[in-house]
Amino acid sequence: MKTGNDKAILVVSFGTSHKETYQKTIAAIENEIQEAYADYPLYRAWTSNMIRRIVEKRDNLHVFSVTEALEQMYKDGVNYVVVQPTHVLNGTENTIMEKDIDKMRDKFDGIAVGAPLLSAQEDIHKVTEFITKEWHLQPDEMLVYVGHGSEHDSNVVYSAVNEKLQAQGHTNIILGTMKPSPSIAAVIEHIKNTNTRKILLAPFMIVAGSHAVNELAGDAEDSWKSVLESEGYEVQCVLKGLGEYPIIRQLFVEHLKKAHRSQF
């Protein structure tokens, strides 16, 4: 179907099979982007083929892959595309997305790509500022954020966030990852050097989906909650994805605007 506009936006996410958190995070980000660019049609794509299959089988809902979305945009008469990923960092999923985009570039007059959440020192500053303002911790409390982590070189961003927090004197906040580092062992080592009694455990992920529900807050022996409790700490899980916070959503809008200005 023709859009009537030769410019359009493509929002790319990893995806989630959790309907409730989808509405609070991915859909909320898409809505704010659409509000910022009300005259531009908005398309959606997910990079996780597994989640796309789950949703299609369960809900009879087909979510485009990046390639499928771009093919549809081309058929709809779009000439200029602004892509905004909702990824935390420029890791494996973002790299796959960029390769898919490159394969389709010759079909369009121009494609601009916005940056993931943490792509520059300015992003790290804004996110650490958000964290320290959002959480009001008691003297014996520790906030432990847990990211997915990546084997990609960009995984160093997590350590950069920790360094920024420590430099600001926020020793009661630490960011770990499920893989490969900072590991839960490193997080526990940090906690033991404080007077922590209670831990607030939260996902440093756009969506509080399966990873947050199971690997962070689950009852299995190897979940973060169980391991931290076995160390003698009281643990409270706060299953709220980063996409639920207005300031995080606004950062994605800012990244998209920057990409749009630089190309068109």
Whole-number Å distance between alpha carbons of 144 and 225? 10
Domain ranges (residues) in the chain? 7-117+245-263, 121-242
* Closest C-alpha among 70, 79, 148, 72 to residue 116: 148
pLDDT interval class at 262 (50, 70, 90):
confident
Task: Give me the pLDDT at residue 5, please.
Answer: 76
Q: What is the pTM of this model?
A: 0.95
Q: What are the tokens at 180?
A: 């490969």
Per-position b or e across 125-156, b if 16+ CB within 10 A of its CB = ebbbebbbeebeeeeebbbbbbbbbbeeebbe
**pLDDT of residue 264 exceeding 80:** no
Q: Which fold has domain 7-117+245-263?
A: Rossmann fold (3.40.50)
Q: Give rounded-to-5 percent helix, strand, coil for the chain.
A: 50, 15, 35
Task: Give me the pLDDT at residue 3, please.
Answer: 52
Q: Helix, strand, or coil here: 207?
A: coil
Mean per-residue pLDDT of the chain: 95
| Sign of the alpha-carbon dihedral angle for 25, 75, 61, 65 | negative
CATH assignment of 121-242?
Answer: 3.40.50.1400
Distances (CA, A) of 86 to 89, 134, 166: 9, 21, 26
* Closest C-alpha among 161, 167, 129 to residue 144: 161
Proportion of the chain above pLDDT 90, given as a percent: 94
**pLDDT of residue 169 exceeding 70:** yes
Q: What are the tokens at 158?
A: 């997590």
Task: Give me the pLDDT at residue 151, please.
Answer: 87
State pLDDT tens for residues 222-237. Answer: 999 999 999 999 999 9
State pLDDT tens for residues 71-94. Answer: 999 999 999 999 999 999 999 999
State pLDDT tens for residues 11-28. Answer: 999 999 999 999 999 999
Question: Burial, 97: exposed, middle or buried (Cβ in 10 Å; 0-12, 13-18, 19+)?
Answer: buried
Task: Give me the pLDDT at residue 193, please.
Answer: 94
Task: Give me the pLDDT at residue 4, please.
Answer: 60
Task: Give me the pLDDT at residue 247, please.
Answer: 97
pLDDT interval class at 263 (50, 70, 90):
confident
**pLDDT of residue 208 exceeding 60:** yes
Q: State the average pLDDT over residues 56-77.
A: 97
Whole-number Å distance between alpha carbons of 186 and 261? 41
Task: Give me the pLDDT at residue 175, please.
Answer: 97
Proportion of the chain above pLDDT 70, given as a percent: 98
pLDDT interval class at 137 (50, 70, 90):
very high
* Topology match between the domains 7-117+245-263 and 121-242: yes
Cβ contact 190:214 at 8 Å: no
